[in-house]
């Protein structure tokens, strides 16, 4: 089996919330399982490989997001082709926005995104900042830190998670992020994949499936970091008044 190739788009520009930790988690979880992995970093204006197995785009300020929109649109055809072929992708914060259908700025101007995720991002004046806790339909807990100033309009697609504890600005809308099969957008940091490692394994499982492979079982090192993640989620849950809940 050839090395699993992870594409990290715009790491110097979009990575202000520790998002490199997401890529580190993906790489380490593969290496601990004996799976070869190659991380390719690509900045604006640089060519991307023709073939990749997983795509990650991190977060950044609104100014950086807007500056990268043109480059994201230039890559849109390639990104959509990868998505159609089953390449899993995760966009966090600004990376989520770049993968959207469009972004509506504060002045009402609408700018097209890469149109990978069927959502419209609407900038809003009020910022949502703080820890959040949620639950998926299957009962798994999801935790992280929100820091954004947008509303998300989903077009016939499900949210990633429903929040039961969130900053006040997000209280009216419990839905967070979006999931469209192997494509994920979220505003949760932590970083999100080390904090919620089952999601990292879902992405890796989808990436390996394209090569006809399965994700090998976790070893003691994977189980140890997963326990650290569980404890981190438990701390967040306790701070949000949900001490003792299953995380």
- Inside any domain, residue 246: no
Domain of residue 163, residue span: 4-239
Q: Give the whole-angstrom CA distance, residue 71 versus residue 44.
A: 6
Number of domains in the chain: 1
Q: Give the whole-angstrom CA distance, residue 58 versus residue 25.
A: 14
Q: pLDDT by residue (tens digit) across 119-158?
A: 999 999 999 999 999 988 787 889 999 999 999 999 999 9
- Inside any domain, residue 244: no
Q: Give the whole-angstrom CA distance, residue 135 versus residue 180.
A: 17
Q: Which residues pair with 151 in a beta bridge?
A: 122
Residue 41: which CATH number?
A: 3.40.50.880
Total-model pTM: 0.95
196 secondary structure, DSSP code:
S
Q: What is the mean pLDDT of residues 104-114?
A: 97
- Inside any domain, residue 135: yes
Q: What is the mean pLDDT of residues 180-194?
A: 95
């Amino acid at each position: 089996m050839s090395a699993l190739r992870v594409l990290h788009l715009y790491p110097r520009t979009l990575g202000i919330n520790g998002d490199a930790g997401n890529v580190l988690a993906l790489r380490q979880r593969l290496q601990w399982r004996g799976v070869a992995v190659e991380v390719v970093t690509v900045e604006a204006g640089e060519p991307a490989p023709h073939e990749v197995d997983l795509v990650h785009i991190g977060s950044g300020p609104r100014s950086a997001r807007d500056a990268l929109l043109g480059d994201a649109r230039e890559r849109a055809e390639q990104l959509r082709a990868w998505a159609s072929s089953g390449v899993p992708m995760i966009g966090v914060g600004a990376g989520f926005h770049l993968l959207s259908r469009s972004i509506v700025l504060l002045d009402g101007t609408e700018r097209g995104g890469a149109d990978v995720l069927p959502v419209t991002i609407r900038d809003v004046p009020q910022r949502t900042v703080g820890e959040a806790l949620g639950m998926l339909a299957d009962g798994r807990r999801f935790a992280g830190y929100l820091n954004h100033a947008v509303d998300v309009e989903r077009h016939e697609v499900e949210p990633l998670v429903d929040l039961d504890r969130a900053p006040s600005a997000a209280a009216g809308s419990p839905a967070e992020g979006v999931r469209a099969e192997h494509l994920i957008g979220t505003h949760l940091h932590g970083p999100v994949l080390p904090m919620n490692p089952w999601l990292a394994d879902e992405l890796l499982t989808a990436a390996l499936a394209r090569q006809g492979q399965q994700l090998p079982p976790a070893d003691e090192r994977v189980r140890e970091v997963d326990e650290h993640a569980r404890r981190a989620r438990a701390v967040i849950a306790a701070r949000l008044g949900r001490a003792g809940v299953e995380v």
